[in-house]
């Protein structure tokens, strides 16, 4: 890998994080407050936020399966925004060293280090993800 590889994998991850941040901010604006899974019948669960229902049996939005409801609630905008901030900090920690070009400034492994590869792999399903980044 080269400095160009480092720049490419870092840019890929930062763009994905910006996309997730933008979606979370839009979801948060549309459905403010904390999201939670409500009660439901026959394994179907309502999802609600402090501002009202996101999905429930009483209207055309419908309830969702219990595991999907719990998963959706854990992906709520506040959690996503916190995860984006944490991953940005992690990426910054593992930037290429200005002192020793070609190596991670944190773990001194060749850059891009394994941490960057692991973070980028979050979006291995994305069409811009390169197979050579896979560990």
Is 70 a binding residue for Zn ion by CB under 5 A? The answer is no
Q: Which residue lies nearer to Zn ion by CB, 51 or 107?
A: 107
Q: Which residue lies nearer to Zn ion by CB, 5 or 57?
A: 5
Distance of CA 129 to the CA centre of its chain: 15
- The least CB distance from residue 10 to Zn ion, in Å, is 11
Query: Cα Rg for the chain, rounded, in angstroms?
Result: 19
Site for Zn ion in 93-122 (CB under 5 A): 94, 104, 106-107, 113, 115
Q: Which range, of 5-13, 76-84, 88-96, 126-134, touches Zn ion by CB under 5 A? A: 88-96
Task: Give the phi and the psi of residue 25 in degrees, each rounded to 5.
Answer: -65, -40
Separation CA 75–CA 65 (nearest Å): 15
Tokens matching residue 90: 């992690």
Task: Give the phi and the psi of residue 55 in degrees, each rounded to 5.
Answer: -150, 125
Site residues (vs Zn ion, CB under 5 A): 94, 104, 106-107, 113, 115
């Amino acid at each position: 890998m080269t400095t160009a590889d480092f720049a490419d994998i870092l840019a890929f991850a930062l763009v994905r994080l910006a996309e997730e941040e933008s979606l979370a901010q839009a979801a948060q604006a549309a459905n403010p407050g904390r999201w939670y899974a409500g009660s439901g019948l026959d394994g179907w669960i309502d999802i609600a936020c402090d501002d009202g229902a996101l999905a429930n049996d009483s209207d055309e939005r419908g309830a969702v399966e219990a595991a999907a409801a719990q998963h959706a609630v854990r992906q709520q905008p506040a959690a996503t925004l916190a995860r984006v901030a944490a991953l940005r900090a992690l990426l910054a920690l593992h930037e290429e060293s200005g002192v020793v070009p070609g190596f991670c400034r944190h773990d001194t492994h060749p850059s891009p280090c394994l941490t960057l590869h692991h973070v980028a792999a979050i979006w291995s399903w994305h069409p811009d993800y390169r197979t050579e980044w896979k560990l």
